[in-house]
Amino acid sequence: MTGIELKLLILLVAANGAPILARHLLGECCTWPLDGGRKTSSGQPILGSSKTWRGIVAALLLTPAVAYLLGFEWHWGMIIGGLAMLGDIIASFVKRRLGYPPSSQAIGLDQIPESLVPLLAIAPFYPLKWWSVLIVVIAFAVVVPLLSRLFFLMGIRRRPY
């Protein structure tokens, strides 16, 4: 893994972990669901209660700070954090349509959109080759479940996934 690939992985992990850290630090404060609690005509949540404005704001604050510390301009962190959250929202929307309950695990679907969407968006600006994108997506899919388990053991996460 090259330096740029590792830095991008760190940014993606920061975006992914920011909502979890915000929930750990703030408890139930500011837990406004992105979908406003609305449901589809079939009664399913659009996204579910675990996708909150607090999580989006946390990712948009933490990821630019981490980007700056890694030597990127802060706005790249904002872009990566925002697009990672968009990928996460897309995954949640698909999971709800497939009948998965909020906060349930869907290996691959939980990691691929969240890492692939921002990487594809920034690839033209950081001449990332397709194999670099693939390496970071695979690394993200491996690292995030391991970190989730660690955060669970530390009492930061409610579930080990």
The arithmetic mean of pLDDT across residues 107-125, rounded, is: 95
Give the separation between CA 70 and CA 10, rounded to whole angstroms: 9
Q: Does the pLDDT value for residue 90 go beyond 90?
A: yes
Provide Rg for the chain, Cα atoms: 15
pLDDT value, residue 101: 83
Predicted pLDDT of residue 17: 96
The CA distance from 161 to 55, in Å, is 17
Which pTM does this prediction carry?
A: 0.92
pLDDT tens readout for residues 23-80: 999 998 989 999 999 998 888 889 988 899 999 999 999 999 999 999 999 999 999 9
Of the listed ranges 8-12, 35-39, 62-66, 98-102, the one predicted with least confidence? 98-102
Compute the average pLDDT of residues 92-108.
Answer: 89
When pLDDT is cut at 50, 70 and 90, the band that residue 126 belongs to is confident
CA dist., res. 20 & res. 110, Å (int): 14
63 Cβ contact partners less than 8 Å away, ≥ 6 residues apart: 11, 14, 15, 18, 77, 78, 80, 81, 84
In the chain, how long is the greatest CA-to-CA distance? Answer: 47
User: For residue 94, which of 117, 77, 73 has the smallest C-alpha distance?
Assistant: 117
User: How many other C-beta atoms can be found within 10 angstroms of the C-beta atom of residue 146?
Assistant: 9
